[in-house]
Amino acid sequence: MSDLKIQDILFCAAFAGEIDKLKSDPKIHTFEAGIGELEAAINLQKYLSDPSTWKPKAIFGIGSAGVYNWIPRKDWEGKFGISKVFANYQIAFLDKKIRLPESMTFKYEFPNLQFPFDGNDFVESATNGTGSVTLEDLSPRALERIKGESLGFENMEAFGLAKVCNLFNIPFGTIFALTNKVGPKGSEEWKLSWRKHSDRLQEKILSYL
C-alpha cells in the first residue's frame, strides 16, 4: 500500500457510466475525458491547463479493458486490472501492414507510482492503448510482440491519458474492470458485462475511503 489517498486522485473515465457511482461521493474527484485516445488526451490537457481546476497528486484512468489471450481467463476473470506501463501498438503495425515513423513515442512508464489498492482481486499488467478495439484473433507475429512486452490489457484511452500525464509530470496509472477477451467476440462480451463490472469496480474503490 502507498501513502497515496483515493481523495488525492483524479479518476478519468471515457464516459459517465464508468464513474457514476464515484461521482456520488464528494470526496472523490472524477473527470469524463471522452472516448478514444485523442479525445481523452485533448480533454485532459485542457483540464490540467486551466489554472482554476483542482490539481491531483496522481491521475488514474478508470473503465474497462479487454485481455489478450496469452493470459488465461482463469487468471483474470472476476478481477480488476491495474497498469503503470502504457504502449501504443496498433495491431496492423505489429503485423507490418502499416508503417509509422520511428521517431514516434510508443511507450510511457510510471515506475514510481504505488497503487493505493492491494489484494488478490488485482492483476497487474502493461496496457496497450490501441485507440480502437481489436476484433480479430492476433497473428502469431503480433501475439509474440504483445506477450514479449507483457501487454496484457487493451484499452482505447489509456495511452492518450498517459501521454498528457507524462507531459505534466503527474504520476499515472489505470484501474480496469476486466470485461472480455480481446478478439472476434470481445465487443459483444463487453456489451453484456461492462455495467456489472463497472459497478463492482467503483464499489471496490469506494471501499478504500
Indicate whether 145 pLDDT > 60. Answer: yes
> Do strands 107-109 and 85-87 pair parallel, antiparallel, or not at all (unpaired)?
antiparallel
Give the position of cell 476486466.
Answer: 178
CB-based contact 129:88 (threshold 8 Å): yes
- Residue 207 dihedral angles phi and psi, to the nearest 5°: -70, -15
Domains and CATH numbers, the chain: 6-207 (3.40.50.1580)
Tens of pLDDT, residue by residue over 9-21, are: 999 999 999 999 9
User: What whole-number distance in Å separates Cα of residue 65 and Cα of residue 198?
Assistant: 11
Rounded CA gap, 103 and 97, in Å?
18
66-92 pLDDT, tens digit per residue, is 999 999 999 999 999 999 999 999 888
- Greatest distance between any 2 Cα atoms in the chain: 49
